[in-house]
Amino acid sequence: MFEPLRSRYPALLALLAQLMALLSIALLLWALAQLGAWRPSLMQAALAQGLLAAMLGQWLGLRRWWLVLNLFFLPALLALQARQWPGWWFLVAFLLLLLLNWNSFRERVPLYLSGARTRQLLSQRLSRLPEGFAFVDLGCGLASTLVQLARDYPAARLVGVETAPLVFALAWLRCLPYRHCRVHYRSLWREDLAAYDAVYCFLSPAPMAELWAKARREMRPGSLLISNSFEVPGVPAQEVVELNDWRNSRLLLWRL
């Protein structure tokens, strides 16, 4: 029932969980008031609402980071209000989150950052390619992977694409010192993969089947598709590099 929303619009499911939890806690508070029983403080009620919202989010199939947001959203608002922050701050905070996580709403891809060990092992794996290989990071985030590769492979052609506005701006600035590394404000779906020897992504489970279809249409024979952690449904990876980090991450590789 919720699969279309879960795969395409998880923010709507998170909002649904928040509203359901808010209504439930409101009804509980009304019942306690009628009975003249114990009345929780506003913060206690907010914590209960957050816990219920997180539980509902898990029931709806949301990923863990949405559960964390559901848990702390209302308590955080109350905590900020208690400090009497100006009203415009909430608008600024909302816009900042929107600019950082724009992909969550448009492309079903939250902001995931590749860790240092991931970047190190990815760089080692790419050493098997010809010296002047072409590489693209689909959803490059803050460009940490690109910067690592730019230092390791000065002869390579490195490209990143990103559509979260603030993230793109930061990534673009970080890559400016490297002439062979560029970041474009472009959807990954509009990037022609035929130009690359290796395509890297750290996305989410939602777009992987569609990305695989795009890769099969566009990528040249012998080129590599590399996914951080997320599998292509029904297509086992031909090579797996265990990262042995706290997230149990893996690099999954397919040779087209």
pLDDT, residue 76, reads: 74
- The total of structural domains in the chain comes to 2
For the residues 203-212, what does the mean pLDDT come to? 87
Check: CB of residue 43 under 8 Å from CB of residue 75. Answer: yes
Q: In this structure, are 67 and 180 located in the same domain? A: no
pLDDT, residue 252, reads: 95
Q: In this structure, are 23 and 78 located in the same domain? A: yes
| Domain presence at residue 56 | yes
Does residue 59 surpass a pLDDT of 50?
yes
Does residue 91 surpass a pLDDT of 60?
no
| Domain presence at residue 91 | no
| Domain presence at residue 140 | yes
Highest mean pLDDT among 59-68, 133-142, 238-247: 133-142
Q: Which of 39, 66, 85 is the last residue of a domain?
A: 85
Instruction: Please state whether beta strands 224-228 and 198-201 pair in parallel, antiparallel, or not at all (unpaired).
Output: parallel
Q: In this structure, are 245 and 125 located in the same domain? A: yes
Q: In this structure, are 69 and 147 located in the same domain? A: no
DSSP code for 113: -
The CA distances from residue 212 to 45, 179, 225, 227, 251, in Å, are 45, 30, 9, 10, 15
- What is the three-class DSSP state of 115? coil
| Domain presence at residue 109 | no
For the entire predicted model, the pTM comes to 0.65
| Domain presence at residue 108 | no
Does residue 102 surpass a pLDDT of 60?
no
The parent domain of residue 156 ranges over 116-255
Q: In this structure, are 170 and 79 located in the same domain? A: no
Cβ atoms within 10 Å, residue 228: 21
How far apart are the C-alpha atoms of 5 and 12, rounded to whole Å?
Answer: 7
Q: Where does the pLDDT of residue 36 fall: very low under 50, low under 70, confident under 90, or very high at 90 and above?
A: confident
How far apart are the C-alpha atoms of 237 and 248, rounded to whole Å?
Answer: 16
Q: Which of 37, 65, 85 is the last residue of a domain?
A: 85
How far apart are the C-alpha atoms of 193 and 138, rounded to whole Å?
Answer: 10
pLDDT, residue 142, reads: 86
| Domain presence at residue 105 | no
Does residue 109 surpass a pLDDT of 60?
no
Does residue 253 surpass a pLDDT of 70?
yes
